[in-house]
Amino acid sequence: MKCPYCSEEMKLGVIYGDKCSLKWISLEKDKGPLLQWFSKGIKLSDVFENNSIESFFCENCKKIIIDVEDKID
């Protein structure tokens, strides 16, 4: 997915809530599979637990885009 702000390629990841916080975590395969879950995430909130949301992150603009098309009741 291209970033709508800068047109650079965005990284696919998930927004995942562990016991401590809600983070954006990269799903890029060139990174270590387990370490990134705990160290490379983008902390978003401490409120949610056990929720994950697929999303795209632009490293250039520092923006996260979430497609909520299939998540609207």
The binding site for Zn ion (CB under 5 A) comprises 3, 5-6, 58, 60-61
* 50-53 own/partner pairs: CB under 8 Å, 24+ apart: 50/17, 51/15, 51/16, 51/17, 51/22, 52/14, 52/15, 52/16, 52/17, 53/14, 53/15, 53/16
| Closest to Zn ion by CB, 11 or 23 | 11
Minimum separation from the CB atom of position 67 to Zn ion (A): 16
Minimum separation from the CB atom of position 35 to Zn ion (A): 25
Minimum separation from the CB atom of position 5 to Zn ion (A): 4
